[in-house]
Amino acid sequence: MKTKMRKWNVVMLVALISLFAACSKDEPAAVGQAEFQVTDAPSDDASIKSVFVTIAEVRVDGKAISGFTKQSIDLKAYQNGNVKSLGTSQLTAGTHSQVTFVLDVDHDADGNVPGCYVQTTDNTKYKLGTTSAVEIDVTKTWNLAANASTTLVADFDIRKAIKWSADNSIRYAFVSSSNLQASVRVVDKMSAGTLNGTYTEQNSSNADKVVVYAYKKGTFNASTETLAQGDDAIYFQNAVSSAEVTGVATKNYTLAFLEDGDYELHFAAYAQDTSTGRFNFQTMLTSQITVNGSVADFVTVSGNASVSVSSLINL
């Protein structure tokens, strides 16, 4: 009798396990909503009117997101914290680690040629890239909670992504594959803050343009960052972000979408080459920054918050 009972218990246990497994398979995976946005950092070339990229596909962890439609975007139209939404997609909840942007170099969203190009102030178009498709893989760990929404911002830094050539037939081109990958960063919008600064010179620098560069604390090396690096001749290559100082009576700047952390600010003066329209780096400007009334060597940025900075340039 005991043997029969044991067999019966085993049969019931197996049946319950099978039923549980079947129910588990029928349960859909938890999902959340992810919105993808694009922004841009400034160029050092005044002759550039527009920089168009055509994004044919967006992938998360190697899989194309649903609901995305091919889009052609003028990156220069979205600077200083302005963004272009690429749309919202439903994704599996959990931890994700990579976002890929597939660019169509040959055709734009309407089927016209080219798909990725620089348009200069005289309305000449220069195609970027020599292959039909360019993939930009950005390694970024981010979490998507079930039944929740997350916004990811892709910051395309065109001064790092595009190189200039003295050859009139080429003029502009994408940088090398490795440098192109490094020219785009992705941040979780809720974990990123904004730095708003005012800019005052004790004496006129006579610069045609001033650019402020944000570096992670302790990472700025003047002996290398102020030189053209590699075959692509990229200045300030390790800057996290940059912004042009603008304004007449009151000068200011905005560094948007900075992840939590401590940042140093470094100001560079540029002179314009009248023959090419390009701005050439001249010198670093000695600066003193003030945060909340106190002189500081760095600025602490917190997610989903803004911090105000006063910058005094000592010439």
If we measure between CA atoms, which residue out of 99, 112, 100, 135 comes closest to residue 52?
112
pLDDT of residue 283: 97
CA distances from 113 to 108, 125, 141, 172 (A): 6, 10, 35, 16
Q: Which are the contacts of 143, defined by CB distance < 8 A and separation ≥ 6?
A: 94, 95, 96, 150
- How many angstroms separate the CA atoms of 242 and 256, rounded? 9
pLDDT of residue 160: 96
What tokens does 306 get?
A: 């803004």
What tokens does 277 get?
A: 């329209």
If we measure between CA atoms, which residue out of 43, 109, 101, 105 comes closest to residue 76?
43
pLDDT of residue 315: 64
- How many angstroms separate the CA atoms of 289 and 287, rounded? 7
pLDDT of residue 169: 82
Q: What are phi and psi of 59, to 5 degrees?
A: -120, 145
What tokens does 80 get?
A: 């200083």
Q: What is the pLDDT of residues 96-142, one digit of tens each?
A: 999 999 999 999 999 999 999 999 999 999 999 877 789 999 999 99
pLDDT of residue 133: 82
List, for the chain, all residue ranges whose pLDDT scores fall below the cut of 70. 1-27, 315
Q: What is the pLDDT of residues 154-169, one digit of tens each?
A: 999 999 999 998 888 8
pLDDT of residue 5: 47
pLDDT of residue 276: 87
The DSSP annotation for the chain comes to -HHHHHHHHHHHHHHHHHHHHHHHHHSPPPEEEEEEEEEEEPPSBTTEEEEEEEEEEEEETTEEPTT---EEEEGGGS-TT--EEEEEEEEESEEEEEEEEEEESS--TTS-S-SSEEEETT--EEE--SSSEEEEEEEEEEEE-TT-EEEEEEEEEHHHHEEE-S-TTT-EEE--HHHHHHTEEEEEGGGEEEEEEEEEESS----SEEEEEEEETT---HHHHTS-BTTTTBSSTT-SEEEE-B-SSSEEEEEEEEESEEEEEEEEEEEE-TTT-BEEEEEEEPEEEEETTEEESSEEE-TT-EEEEEEEE--
